[in-house]
Structure 1
Amino acid sequence: MTARNILFIMCDQLRWDYLDCTGHPSIRTPNIDALAARGLRFDRAYVQSPICGPSRMSFYTGRYVRSHGSTWNMVPLKLGERSLGEYLRPLGLRTVLCGKTHMTADTEGMERLGVSKSSEIGALVAECGFEVWDRLDGVHPTGGKQPSHYNDYLAAQGYDGENPWQDWANSAEDADGTILSGWLMQNARRPARVRAEESETHYTTARAIEFLDQAGDDPWCLHLSYIKPHWPYIAPAPYHEIYGEADVPPAIRAESERADPHPLLAAYQAHRTSKCMSRDEVRRAVIPAYMGLITQIDDQIGVLMRHLEEAGRLDDTLIVFTSDHGDYLGDHWLGEKELFHEQSVRIPLIVVDPDPRAEATRGQINSDLIEAIDLVPTFIEAAGGAVPDHILEGHSLLPLIHGAGNWPREVAVSEYDFAFREARVLLGSAVRDSRAVMLFDGRWKMVHVTGHRPMLFDLESDPQEFTDLGADPAHAATRDRLSAALLRWTERLRNRTTMSDARVEALTEIEMDEGIWIGFYDEADMARGKKAPKGRS
């Protein structure tokens, strides 16, 4: 049976290598592994930016960051950028959000054009094209972002306080009952005060099931977007104690990375988060909690899959499991994400297609270079639509899933705008010059940094990316080749989004047909011009 529904599952800050099916030595993720066994796992998938907001905007628009313009978490997605719902709703799919998007609406653009958030179209463009079933981007401490409805939910369950998320979901307590902040990494080994069944992960799953139960027979695309295992690194019982220090893998780092680092790497190593996460005692406290949060998600994936099976939906639902970026966890002497080592920019990606044609690859691993922008065209094709490739910059994955070869991508590209970070100040960079772009051809990874020499890594001989060859004269030809690929990439960005290539071909050299005679000397010259084939420029 071909897919009539789409379940688009995304985790936040889940590293590609923190699943059993991707090779982690001790984590237990049987339900996600079962998805990989039923579908095709893409082993080399990369995000378009290694931070939440711009990465997700590329997932939802099918366009590179350079094209959609939302370069960092607080940068609005400009009004007029099409997103997933605008492609799928005309194909008959109700396109619904349950969880996180990190969308910042272009309120200035909406006000300028008189688009009200209370209108039908305004409500959609303000939410990245999704019909909101339940949006949960996370709740911040009192005085931070305005608390969300999740706080109301916790209060209704009997959790008291002005900000129950802060006091219960993101806090632990000691033997004396003193509340301990989940923001402090030393408390990561303690259980969150909230019960697991009322934590963010369980709550989001329950809300998604509520949608599925009321959706009826109309086709849908449900974006189920978990906010974990993103920090704060604190898990509810029993997930806080499933893993221990013995499960913490050695840090992937070398002293040579601190001896003479690239200026951008040095600036990020100087960040507070990097200094903290590089400490062994911090890694021993945080990583077991991080792993527990992943296993909690895996358990909820199992709950969801059983519900779909009981409802008879597994046989007609295309399922995607992925993440918006990774987490350094102290590797390369770094914390958080944002640079372009594999721990940050590479993501897990599993696609389960019920179409019989997918039997050709079921349970297999694909090693082509895949990008986050490939999902929108995949969903459009799965829903029976025509992919508008004058707008979308990715490629449908369905041919690969159905056993075809000849994947067209030669390099994977990711971008980062570090203007908002301390690194810019440390480097003395202007806001407009604080950009970096990664190109990876499957072996060589080059990072172009405006105003500085590039970084270059050979992942064949140096898979851990310890040795930066960006200043090595012996590799000048490789850098030149990848620099040329960067130029070709910029030339191929889809900037003409209001007219298809087919329409351009139809309109080529039509002036004479409309009586516009430009560049002719006399009638004979014009007669010769009429015989010239269209399409000549």
Structure 2
Amino acid sequence: MTRREFVELMGLTASGSLAAAAQAKAVSRPNIILLLGDDHRADALGCAGNRYVKTPHLDAMAAEGLRFENHFCTTPICCVSRASIMTGQYAATHGINDFSKPLSAAQVQRSYFGQMRRSGYYTGFVGKFGVGSTMPSDAFDVWKGFGGQGQYFPQGEPGPHLTDIMAGQVVDFVQQAPRHKPFCLSVSFKAPHEQDEDPRTYLPSAATYARYAGTSPPLPLGASESDIERFPLAIQRSESRRRWSTRYTTAKLREETMKGYYALISGIDDAIGALRKELATQGLVDNTVIVYSADHGVYHGEHGLAGKWYAHEEPTRIPLIVYDPRLPARRKGARVSEPSLNLDLQPTLLQLAGLTPPDGTQGRSLVASMNGAVPQTQRAWYVEHNFPDHGLIPSSRAVRSLHWKYIQYTDNAVPFEEVYDLHNDPHEVRNLALEPAHKATLEKLRVACDTWSRSFTAGDAWHEPLNAGDLES
């Protein structure tokens, strides 16, 4: 442990003790359940307008709660995004950029589940932890987590599906959780992630796949596959391109890919339906907040790519649905257009639990937005990816507002750049960085991206260096 980590750990422990003493008096703190999909992009929901995917329980949760329409991850890869969700920090701050580095003791302390447990919450984890080769199982009262990617059929086919196994573990947790204290349950699905090294790519249960019999879901609308030709050779030869070749090169492959992907999401939806039914059976509906989101999205052939890793819309725009039974009736079914980020979940969950986020938190609580408050200052944010995987995944960084996006691929001697006017080009087809008429915009956004990168060296003094007005003025 470094000296800085030791000092942070001591500070978090002291503040956590004070918080626990203060919060012990609380009698009405809600139960909190955070549910995460893996590779679940924002448009793969019925409530988001998708006519092919079957998600009745998630749709009902959105109709009874809130749907954040502009929710994004800040690094589109599992381990890094999950660390941001847990700690409320950008990757450049938490420093977890690969699959082997675990959360430090100080990071476990500052996580939403660490803070809640010290304040008196009963905590549990079910599913794919996704951060580090060693996992903090002792940080939870109930641990049903696993490392790595996991297998959809852990007992072999045609045995029980992993999502169904997890659904049973979630119901068991709700049934046995003590009633004299609130609980925080984290559920992290493998679905709808691909099954690595399996030629079938997506492996749903037979029952969920059968719901898509006779259907031919098309690829989502987006940049055409031929768009790959304008990218540098490093991207044309990348892992994203290799995965594209195994999923989208024929009409049959495209259809099977989409049916398998949607069926895995339907499996998550079934698990959420079983959870909500059990909460009703146990009389816990009126005091349980449920949050559904994902670690990142995925390409479905847009730009001729598959997988994730880059800063385009498909891998970075993700779902966020919040069901809070305590919200006023006027907020039920509302859509929130204000931008929100994966690292906002930690401070949001802590505020819902009556706790103050620890120093160094870079996300913003969304509780005010949930209650319908006037949005804060227009938001800009940073997107980064630094997991080269032996050169198979080019590193990149980006700066983003709802209007503008700038992407820089940083492994080349002369970085390849993209600029998109998202108001007029939501599918990111026209790269304005290549057009002389937009040179001034390119330079402004390039400087903004550099400003973001430098800001992380400020340590505890870090603050958001830009807002959307700085990019758009």
Q: Using structure 2 for the length normalisation, give the TM-score.
A: 0.82
**Counterpart in the other structure of 1:33:** 59
Query: CA, structure 1 residues 127+420, in 2 after alignment: closer, same or farther (shift >3 Å)?
Result: farther
CA deviation profile, 1:33-69 (whole Å, cap 9, x unmatched): 1111111111111112111110101000110000011
Amino acid at match of 2:125: L
What CA deviation, in whole Å up to 9, does each residue of 1:203-250 have, x standing for no partner?
101111111111121211100111111112122222122224522335
282 and 215 in structure 1: CA distance in 2 versus 1, 3 angstrom threshold: same
Q: Which sections of structure 2, spanning at least 5 residues, go unmatched? A: 1-26, 196-201, 464-473
For residues 38 and 69 of structure 1, what CA distance do their matches in structure 2 show?
A: 37
1:449 counterpart = 2:409: yes
Kept in 1, the 8 Å contact 2:351–2:365? The answer is: yes
Distance (whole Å) between structure 2 residues aligned to residue 128 and residue 271 of structure 1: 40
Q: Is the 8 A contact 1:58 1:373 kept in 2?
A: yes
- Mark the CA change 1:365 to 1:104 in structure 2 (over 3 Å): closer, same or farther: same
Distance in 2 (CA, whole Å) between partners of 1:369 and 1:446 is: 17
Q: Quick check: 1:16 aligned with 2:45? A: no
Instruction: Find 1:259's aligned residue among 226, 229, 232.
Output: 229
In 2 relative to 1, CA 486–127 (structure 1 residues): closer, same or farther, beyond 3 Å?
A: farther
Structure 1 counterpart of 2:163, which letter? T
* Equivalent residue number for residue 133 of structure 1: 143
CA–CA separation in structure 2 for the residues paired with 1:369 and 1:139: 30
1:467 corresponds to: 430
| Corresponding residue of 1:376 | 346
Residue range with higher mean Cα deviation, 91-100 or 13-22:
91-100
- Name the structure 1 match of 2:256: 285
CA distance in 2, matches of 1:250, 1:59: 27
- Deviation of 1:418 after TM superposition, in Å, equals 3.6
Amino acid at match of 2:407: V
Q: Deviations over 1:419-467 (max 9, x none)?
A: 215435xxxxxxxxx6311221102111122241321122222111122
Whole-angstrom CA distance in 2 between matches of 1:101 and 1:210: 19
Q: Is the Cα contact below 8 Å between 1:42 and 1:365 reproduced in 2?
A: yes
1:264-290 per-residue CA deviation (whole Å, 9 max, x = no partner) reads 543437742122223133211121111
| Partner AA of 1:387 in structure 2 | P
The worse-fitting range, judged by mean Cα deviation, of 328-337 and 243-252 is: 243-252
Q: In 2, Cα distance between the equivalents of 1:270 and 1:29?
A: 28
Change (3 A) 1:485 1:409: farther
Count of residues in Structure 1 that have an aligned counterpart in Structure 2: 423
> Could you tell me whether the CA contact under 8 Å between 1:268 and 1:274 is conserved in 2?
no
- Cα distance in 2 for partners of 1:203, 1:255 equals 37
Partners in 2 of 1:328 and 1:139 — Cα distance? 19
Alpha-carbon spacing, 1:262–1:361, altered in 2? closer, same or farther (3 Å): farther
**How far has the Cα of 1:75 moved from its partner?**
3.5
1:378 deviation in Å? 0.7
Written as runs of structure 1 = structure 2, the 5 A alignment for 1:48-447 is: 48-81=74-107, 82-105=110-133, 126-127=136-137, 129-137=139-147, 165=154, 167-168=156-157, 193-194=158-159, 198-217=160-179, 218-232=181-195, 233-243=202-212, 244-249=214-219, 252-254=222-224, 257-268=227-238, 271-280=241-250, 281-356=252-327, 358-388=328-358, 390-408=359-377, 410-423=379-392, 435-447=395-407
Cα displacement (A) at 1:70: 0.7
Task: Compare 80-89 and 10-19 and name the one that shifted more.
Answer: 80-89
Letter in 1 for 2:53: I
Structure 1 residues 453 and 34: CA distance shift in structure 2, 3 A: same
Q: 1:449 to 1:88 in 2, by over 3 A?
A: same
Q: Using a 3 Å threshold, how does the CA distance of structure 1 residues 250 and 348 change in structure 2: closer, same or farther? A: closer
Letter in 1 for 2:211: I
Name whichever of 17-26 and 487-496 sits farther off: 487-496
Structure 1 residues 177-223: Cα deviation after superposition (integer angstroms, max 9, x where no partner): xxxxxxxxxxxxxxxx23xxx21111101111111111121211100
Q: Name 2:20's counterpart in structure 1.
A: none
Larger Rg: 1
Shift of 1:394: 0.5
Per the TM alignment, residue 256 of structure 1 is displaced from its structure 2 partner at its CA by 5.1
Q: Which runs of 5+ in 1 are unaligned?
A: 108-124, 142-149, 151-163, 169-192, 425-433, 502-537
Q: Secondary structure, in 3 states, of the residue corresponding to 1:227?
A: coil
Identical pairs, percent: 31
> What is the rounded CA distance, in whole Å, between the counterparts of 1:104 and 1:421 in structure 2?
19
Contact 2:32-2:288 within 8 A present in 1 as well? yes
Relative distance call for 1:67 and 1:288 in structure 2 (3 A) is same
Q: Distance in 1 between matches of 2:139 and 2:421?
A: 40
Question: Deviation string for 1:471-529 (max 9, x for gaps)?
Answer: 222222222332333244345448545x999xxxxxxxxxxxxxxxxxxxxxxxxxxxx
- Matched letter for residue 92 of structure 1: G
Partner of 2:198: none
What amino acid does structure 2 have at the position aligned with 1:411?
A
C-alpha contact 1:438 1:447 (8 A) present in aligned 2: yes
Match of 1:479 in 2: 442
SS of the residue corresponding to residue 454 of structure 1 reads strand
Q: Which residue in the other structure is 1:181 paired with?
A: none
Q: Distance in 2 between matches of 1:447 and 1:132?
A: 41
- Counterpart position of 1:535: none
TM-aligned CA distance change 1:277 to 1:251, over 3 Å: farther
Contact 1:46–1:412 under 8 Å retained in 2: no
Q: Residues 47, 131 of structure 1: CA spacing in aligned structure 2 closer, same or farther, 3 A cutoff?
A: farther
Letter in 1 for 2:269: D
SS of 2:238's partner is helix
